Amino acid sequence: MLMFVLQRLARAVLTILIVVTFAFVTLRLTSDPTLVVLGPDAPPESIAAFRLRWGLDKPIWQQFFYYVAGLMRGDFGRSMLNGADVLPMVVARILVTLKIMLPALAIGVGVGVSAGVFAALKRGTLADRMIMFLAVVGFTVPGFVLGLVLVLVFAVSLGWLPSGGNDSWSSPILPVVTLGAYWSAVLARFTRSSMIEVLGQPYILTASAKGLLWQAVVTRHALPNAAIPVVTTVGLMVGGMLAGAVVTESVFSWPGLGQLLVTSVAARDVAIVQCILLLVATTMVLSNMAVDFLYGLLDPRLRSGLH
Amino acid sequence: MTEISMTPDTSPAASPDSATDALGQSARKSIPVSIRLAIGWVALMVLTALLANLLRPYSITALDLSARLQPPVGFGGSWAHVLGTDELGRDVLSRLLVSIRVSLSLAFAATLLGVLLGAALGLMAAHFRGLVEQVVLVLIDVQAALPFIILALSVMAFIGNSQVLLVGLLALYGWERHARVVRGLALSANTQGFMLAVRQLGASPGRQYLRHLLPNISATLIVITTLAFPEIILAESGLSFLGLGVQPPMTSLGNMVGYGRAYLSNAPWIPLFPSAVIVLTTLAISTLGDWLRDKLDPTVR
């Protein structure tokens, strides 16, 4: 078990290291922030001063060394546009993104899991087909289309809700519904197939045969087993949460992490982009790892395999 | 392969085929209505993509400044511009047809490239084992740690923007899942009799994998390709929607929705027609993919 944990940790660290290197090398080699920040008409002496100030005159391996040394001290660099520390800027935006992400995740889990369980129990009925049709639709309608339709109906036609921004209590409603619908659809499909698989297992037959009420069979034997893959899927979703909002935030002009990424990319603010890439990759790696461990904890059958 | 897999639970979108269930076993062997509709729509889209330049009534950049923001026929528009015009008086129908061509061909090329890349790396990992396999597994981890949209945003904006780069990037979408699947299949096939026999007979690795393994895993490859295609259409339209995919004056479905959203309140037909095409196309291909999966390979989930 210890061996497994150590191996998994080593792989996680290696992955993050590669992402850091990749991000640094591609971003530094492919664009010269000097010209973008100062403009093409900047005088040569201010270009030289800018390069000196940001260390861009040094060879790239040296710049990389300074960057990694800075990361070790918790220094993620400074924005080239306004010189501010990058990390507080990014963290502030993450909090804004979580404001729509967490309620959306709650809706996704609540609606998706219950719809999936219901559909599996009513398998083959009209209700099941309706739920699954909705799930496929929710899965294939892109966020920007659903978002635009919601804006058209609730903001433009009815005028009930704001079409974008983050300046009233009702602003998060439409983005939350857009994201929640997608996650509900994904989880409903997943929960249903997991539940159907479990309901076909011999231990369900045994539980019914020994005279348990069907309700007890479902709640005590089927649900806990069906929950295992669902929990891991939710874990992976949490990892991708910060990234999932880029398009939705753009539709609703929600000033979160996705918007920061889009504007920093447009402004060629390398430090911010690097910081976002690093934080998102770290969250993904950590949640993937947590899911691996969780799997072992939740499913005793897998635990023996981990030794 | 069996008819059991055609029970309603495994084809979630098959609601219209309830009538055929009552007709019994012989009717069940036929293709459900939802699948026929899906095939019909995909065929229509492929034809449109192929013939877009013949079908379009105007050039996609032809301006008609006297007929700006004209609504479609039936909403006060004229037959001169069946689906209306945009803010520069460009014909929405012509742009839609060309967008279908651009979006579908980009997504198709990227899907094939992505499956090829994933399959090649997965096979290499399974064949060489050892260091090669470890490298592939680390690459898979790295890709899984970088959400596609974030990777694409960073790369597109800094490296620049070309259709070749766009296809290359889109091909990165999902290759790590294909690589995992193919590696797993190849590892298990390598322990089976036929692969051992072929190897004992002295076949070269190319012959082993192309002539003997490939036919055995082709069903799975077809299924993962079909299921990846709509995801890549969505990825491309998402990027173009953000203004980072296909660049003007060229047009794509996501691009039309992206600039059309500014006219949502006074000219909703500009974003709504391409949105509908995106939704119907991904819906049709996903439905087909689910159905193929149940038919050909129930093991892929």
**In this complex, which of B150, B264, B301 lies closest to A156 when CB atoms are compared?**
B264
Residue A225 has pLDDT above 50, yes or no: yes
The pLDDT confidence band at residue B23, using thresholds 50, 70 and 90, is: very low
- The reply to whether residue A281 touches residue B261, judged by beta carbons under 8 angstroms, is no
Instruction: Tell me the shortest Cα–Cα distance from B64 to chain A, in angstroms.
Output: 27
The Cα–Cα gap between B139 and A15 comes to 8
Residue A243 in this model has a pLDDT that exceeds 80? no
Q: What is the mean pLDDT of chain A?
A: 83
For residue B44, pLDDT beyond 90: yes
Comparing CB atoms, the residue among A137, A273, A288 nearest residue B154 is A273
User: Residues A136-180: pLDDT tens digits?
Assistant: 888 888 888 888 888 888 888 787 888 777 777 778 888 999 999
Q: Which residue has the higher pLDDT, B76 or B251?
A: B251
Query: Which of A24, A45, A72 delimits the end of a domain?
Result: A72
Distance CA B49, CA B47 (A): 5
Of A113-117, A219-223, B107-111, least confident by mean pLDDT is A219-223
Nearest residue, CB atoms, A148 vs list B14, B264, B286:
B264
CATH number, domain with residue A94: 1.10.3720.10
Is residue A94 located within the same domain as residue A239? Answer: yes
- Which pLDDT band, with edges at 50, 70 and 90, does B249 fall under? confident
Q: Which pLDDT score is estimated for B97?
A: 92
What is the predicted pLDDT for the residue at A213? 86
CB of B265 within 8 Å of a chain A CB? The answer is yes
Q: Are residues A189 and A286 in the same domain?
A: yes
Domain count, chain A: 2
Minimal C-alpha gap between B234 and chain A (Å): 6
* Stretch 73-132 of chain B: residues touching chain A, C-beta under 8 Å: none
Task: Judge: B145–A148 Cβ closer than 8 Å, yes or no.
Answer: no
Per residue in B159-171, pLDDT (tens digit) is 767 888 889 889 9
- What band does B57 get if pLDDT is binned at 50, 70 and 90? confident
* Residue B45 confidence (pLDDT): 93
The answer on A178 and A301 residing in a single domain is: yes
Q: Does residue B27 belong to the interface with chain A, where contact is any CB pair within 8 Å?
A: no
- Cross-chain Cβ contact A149/B145 below 8 Å: no
Residues in A closer than 8 angstroms to B258, CB to CB, are: 144
pLDDT at B242 over 80: yes
Inform me whether the C-beta atom of residue B29 falls under 8 Å from chain A C-beta atoms.
Answer: no
Average pLDDT, chain B: 81
Q: Contact B158/A268, CB-based, under 8 Å?
A: yes
Same domain, A50 and A175: no
The distance in angstroms from the start CA to the end CA of chain B is 16
Q: Say if A262 is an interface residue toward chain B (CB within 8 Å).
A: yes
pLDDT at residue B8 is higher than 70: no
Confidence of residue B27 (pLDDT cuts 50, 70, 90): very low
> A142 and chain B: CB distance < 8 Å anywhere?
yes
B249 preceded by a cis bond (ω within 30 of 0)? yes
Contact between chains at B158 and A196 (C-beta distance less than 8 A): no
State both tokens at A106.
């709650």
Q: Domain span at residue A279?
A: 88-306
How far lies A27's CA from each of A76, A270, B269, in Å?
15, 7, 39
**pLDDT for position A103:** 92
- Give the residue from chain A lying closest to B148, CA to CA: A243
- pLDDT confidence of residue B300: 55
In a domain, A40, yes or no: yes
| Residues A66, A177 share a domain | no
Does A162 share its domain with A230? yes
Residue B82, Cβ density class (10 Å: 0-12 exposed, 13-18 middle, ≥19 buried): middle
Q: How confident is the model at residue A247 (pLDDT cuts 50, 70, 90)?
A: confident
Sign of the dihedral defined by the CA atoms of residues B154, B159, B165, B171, in that order: negative
Please give the pLDDT value at position B29: 59
Is A2 a domain residue?
Answer: no
Q: What is the mean pLDDT of residues B100-129?
A: 92
Cβ within 8 Å, pair B261-A251 = yes
On the question of pLDDT at B2 being above 50, the answer is: no
Query: Which pLDDT score is estimated for A239?
Result: 67
Residue A254 domain-assigned (yes or no): yes
User: Chain A within 8 Å of B8 (Cβ-Cβ)?
Assistant: yes
Task: State the Cα–Cα distance between residues B299 and A73, nearest whole angstrom.
Answer: 48
A303 or B36: which carries more pLDDT confidence?
Answer: B36
Of A272, A279, A287, nearest to A105 (Cα)?
Answer: A287
Residue B265 in this model has a pLDDT that exceeds 50? yes
Instruction: Identify whether residues A61 and A94 lie together within a single domain.
Output: no
Taking CB atoms and an 8 Å limit, are B144 and A284 in contact across chains?
Answer: yes
| One domain, residues A239 and A204 | yes
Q: Is the pLDDT of residue B19 over 50?
A: no
Q: Does B19 touch chain A (CB under 8 A)?
A: no
Smallest CA-to-CA distance from A233 within A193, A279, A202 is with A193
- Residue A26 to residue B158, Cβ atoms within 8 A: yes
For residue B111, what pLDDT is reported?
Answer: 94
Higher pLDDT, B40 or A38: B40
A8 belongs to a structural domain: no
Interface probe for B, chosen from A11, A118, A131, A140 (most Cβ of B below 10 Å), is: A140
The contacts of residue A146 (CB under 8 Å, 6+ apart) are: A178, A181, A182
In a domain, A83, yes or no: no
Give yes or no: residues A59 and A199 share one domain. no
Of A133, A193, A270, the CB nearest to B15: A133
Give the pLDDT band of residue B16 (cuts 50, 70, 90).
very low
Which of A18, A195, A265 is the best substitution to test chain B (most B C-beta atoms within 10 A)? A265
Asked if the Cβ–Cβ distance from B159 to A137 is below 8 Å, we say: no
Q: Following CA atoms B255, B259, B263, B268 in sequence, which dihedral angle do they give, to the nearest 10 degrees?
A: 0
SS (H, E, C) chain B: CCHHHHCHHHCCCCHHHHHHHHCCHHHHCCCCHHHHHHHHHHHHHHHHHHHHHHHCCCCCCCCCHHHCCCCCCCCCCCCCCCCCECCCCCEHHHHHHHHHHHHHHHHHHHHHHHHHHHHHHHHHHHHHCHHHHHHHHHHHHHHHHCCHHHHHHHHHHHHCCCHHHHHHHHHCCCHHHHHHHHHHHHHHHHCCHHHHHHHHCCCCHHHHHHHHHHHHHHHHHHHHHHHHHHHHHHHHHHHHHCCCCCCCCCCCHHHHHHHHHHHCCCCCHHHHHHHHHHHHHHHHHHHHHHHHHHHHCCCCC
pLDDT at position B298 is: 58
Do A35 and A80 meet the contact criterion of CB atoms below 8 Å apart? no
Question: Smallest CA–CA separation between B154 and chain A, in Å?
Answer: 6
A4 found inside a domain: no
**What is the tens place of the pLDDT at every residue in A85-140?**
888 888 888 888 888 888 999 999 999 999 999 999 888 889 888 898 899 888 88
Are both A66 and A101 inside the same structural domain? no
A274 and A244 share a domain? Answer: yes
Q: Are A121 and A242 within one domain? A: yes
Average pLDDT over residues B16-38: 62
The residue type found at A45 is: E
Asked if residue A130 belongs to a domain, the reply is: yes
Interface test with A, best of B155, B158, B240, B272 (most A CBs within 10 A): B158
With contacts defined as CB-CB under 8 Å, which chain B residues touch A237?
Answer: none
CB atoms B144 and A250 under 8 Å: no
Q: Which chain A residue lies closest to B263 (C-alpha atoms)? A: A152
Q: Per-residue pLDDT averaged across A252-259, rounded?
A: 87
Residue B35 has pLDDT above 80, yes or no: yes
Residues on chain A touching B230 (C-beta within 8 angstroms):
140
The closest CB to that of B287, out of A136, A270, A273, belongs to A136
Evaluate whether A132 touches A192 at the Cβ level (below 8 Å): yes
Residue A100 lies in a domain: yes
* pLDDT higher than 60, residue B40: yes
| Average of per-residue pLDDT across A170-192 | 89
Which residues between 108 and 127 in chain A have a beta carbon less than 8 angstroms from any beta carbon of chain B? 123-124, 126
pLDDT at A112: 92
